[in-house]
Amino acid sequence: MDNITHTLFGATLARTPLGRAGRGTTAALIIASNLPDIDIVTSAGGTISYLQWHRGPTHGPIGIIGLGLLTAAIVSAAYRIIDSRRRDPDAEPARVATFGMLAIVSTIGVLLHVLMDVPTSYGVRVLSPFSWRWFAVDWMPIIDIWLLIVLLAGLLFGLRSPAARRRNGAIVLTVMAVIYGVRAAAHHQALVLAPRLLGPTLPQPCDPPSAARSGVLAVWPRAPLEMPVLPAGKRCLVEIAAIPDFIGPFSWRIIAQMSNSYDIYQLDLLDARLRNAETSADVFWRHVRRYPNIWTPLVERAGASRLGRVFLGFSRFPAARSVVDAEGVTTVRWTDVRFVFGIGPVELPRRGPDMFTATVRIDADGHVVDQRLGSRR
């Protein structure tokens, strides 16, 4: 999730019994709810470095414990300094929570940050540094406007008294659970209806059938599939995924991974035509955005470059394309189609890291001559 959501959630947790363990627990919860994203400092080494470490060890077991202790140390030190500089030395300040209590509260805050990242389609490497595989559940977008509204409203309407704050905190957590539940149910329904979008273009699953990956928890990178040799014009289905949209819980992007391409569809669960199989086969399958995915020996060689290893370790659905120019230089480009909308890749802010497209150029002798992240030159 985005850091505004993490901050508001930390402030909401401070209205639960976690926030009543002594002075400093509110600050600890807010800091801990954001601290795993301290890995942004790795962007000082470039976007490739950031992509390599993002949502890595700071989101893993060591990071959860270590950042919980670090948060407790920061808050304890800050309140000691504040109390030593108070103007009225005779006034007795409220009791600061013990270091042990701050460590427990902070560790819970860090853990909940990680658990909020898992249901996003972006994913998180929850076992790093022991395992660098990504895990995701595909329920939530990175920014959920409805979740933001609920969290903000709960904080604004609970300012009258401590009792109102506690009551609103409980209400907000309940509504959050409902939002996650609705998203989970909508995700399941999107996968059920997805085959109707493909209509007559839906091919048979790749052989062996186990190649068609499925399940609630998505895990990657995975061993590459040995694609079967098919007759010209034929292809098979590897996987269908439903990616949450920013609009709301009823709008989804369907990614159908084929043996030679990715087909992307927009799905509206409220569209009544989807319930009519007779008309859906004639309408929806025509509205597709297709990204070729052709792997050649040169693409494989480009994947062995530093950028190739980092990007393919990050990307869940890397669509590969390659072209050879007149001088024999091969340009290989991968696009992570999770971050593709109806007309093209997501447009990121100019100052933000553009890390959803990777390009590697290889000369005629097989040497890497250029590698860069981003679709802009």
pLDDT digits (tens, 9 = 90+) for 98-128: 999 999 999 999 999 999 999 999 999 999 9
Question: What per-residue confidence (pLDDT) applies to 20?
Answer: 83
Last residue in a domain, options 136, 151, 184? 136
Indicate the pTM of the whole model: 0.88
Do 76 and 39 lie in one domain? The reply is yes
Do 279 and 360 lie in one domain? The reply is no
Rg of the chain in Å (alpha carbons) = 24
- The answer to whether 371 touches 306, Cβ cutoff 8 Å, is yes
Enclosing domain of residue 60: 3-136
CB atoms within 10 A of CB 185: 13
Do 282 and 336 lie in one domain? The reply is no
Do 233 and 305 lie in one domain? The reply is no
Count up the domains in the chain and report the number: 3
d(Cα 47, Cα 373) in Å, to the nearest integer?
7
Do 13 and 127 lie in one domain? The reply is yes
Do 74 and 130 lie in one domain? The reply is yes
The answer to whether residue 153 sits within a structural domain is no
The answer to whether residue 358 sits within a structural domain is yes
Do 7 and 116 lie in one domain? The reply is yes
Take residue 315 and report the two structure tokens written for it: 């990307």
C-alpha distances (whole Å) from 47 to each of 184, 246, 257, 372 are: 32, 25, 27, 9
Do 279 and 302 lie in one domain? The reply is no
Do 130 and 240 lie in one domain? The reply is no
- DSSP classification of residue 225: P
Do 283 and 303 lie in one domain? The reply is no
Do 43 and 8 lie in one domain? The reply is yes
The answer to whether residue 245 sits within a structural domain is yes
- The answer to whether 23 touches 95, Cβ cutoff 8 Å, is yes
Question: What per-residue confidence (pLDDT) applies to 229?
Answer: 64
The answer to whether residue 79 sits within a structural domain is yes
Question: What per-residue confidence (pLDDT) applies to 91?
Answer: 56
Last residue in a domain, options 136, 151, 167? 136
Question: What per-residue confidence (pLDDT) applies to 353?
Answer: 46
Starting from the edge strand earliest in sequence, which strands make up the sheet with 368-373, in order?
318-324, 330-336, 357-362, 368-373
Take residue 251 and report the two structure tokens written for it: 């709008």
Question: What per-residue confidence (pLDDT) applies to 350?
Answer: 38
pLDDT digits (tens, 9 = 90+) for 173-196: 999 999 999 999 999 999 999 988
Residue 212 has pLDDT above 50, yes or no: no
Last residue in a domain, options 119, 136, 153? 136
Is the peptide bond preceding residue 129 cis, with omega within 30 degrees of 0?
Answer: yes
CA dihedral of residues 72, 74, 75, 77 (deg, nearest 10): 110
Do 115 and 215 lie in one domain? The reply is no
